Amino acid sequence: MPNYHNKQPTWQNDEVVDSGNYSQRLQDTKVGEGLTGLVINGGSFVNCLFPIGTEVNGGLHLQVDYCKHEHPDWDELEDESEDCAHVTETILLDGITLYTREDTIISNGAKYG
Ligand SMILES: [Zn+2]
C-alpha cells in the first residue's frame, strides 16, 4: 500500500485511490492541489484537504490537532506550554504536576478546499 504520510501524493488527474496512507501532520493540508477528477474509494486521510469536486466514496477522513508533547520529533508542530490545550488530566504528585495529553480530533469527514 502506498505510504505518503507527511508527503504529497503523486496523483494525476482522474486518479482513483483505493488504499494507502496519505495522512498529514498539520490540519487542512492540501493534497492533490490543482487536480481534477480525483476519486477516493479508500485509504487513510488525516488532515487532508481535497480539491473541490473530488469524489469521496470511502476511507478514513479526520482532522486532528496533534500535540507536540506526544510527537516531539514532528518539526511541523509548534512548541507548546506544559499545560497545552491537549491536557486531559492533571495530577499533582509530591509537588510535581503530571499531565496526561491526547491528540484532539477536530472533525470527522472529508474536507475540501
Ligand atoms: Zn499539546
User: Which pLDDT tens digit goes with each residue over 35-83?
Assistant: 999 999 999 999 999 999 999 999 999 999 999 999 999 999 999 999 9
Indicate the burial class of 94 (C-beta count within 10 angstroms; 0-12, 13-18, 19 or more). Answer: exposed
pTM: 0.91
Are 17 and 42 in contact by the 8 Å Cβ rule? The answer is yes
Q: How far apart are CA 79 and CA 67, in angstroms?
A: 9
Q: CA-based angle 89:26:72, to the nearest 5?
A: 55
**Cα(5) to centroid of ligand 1, in Å?**
20
Collapsed DSSP state (helix, strand, coil) of residue 105: strand
**Cα(28) to centroid of ligand 1, in Å?**
18
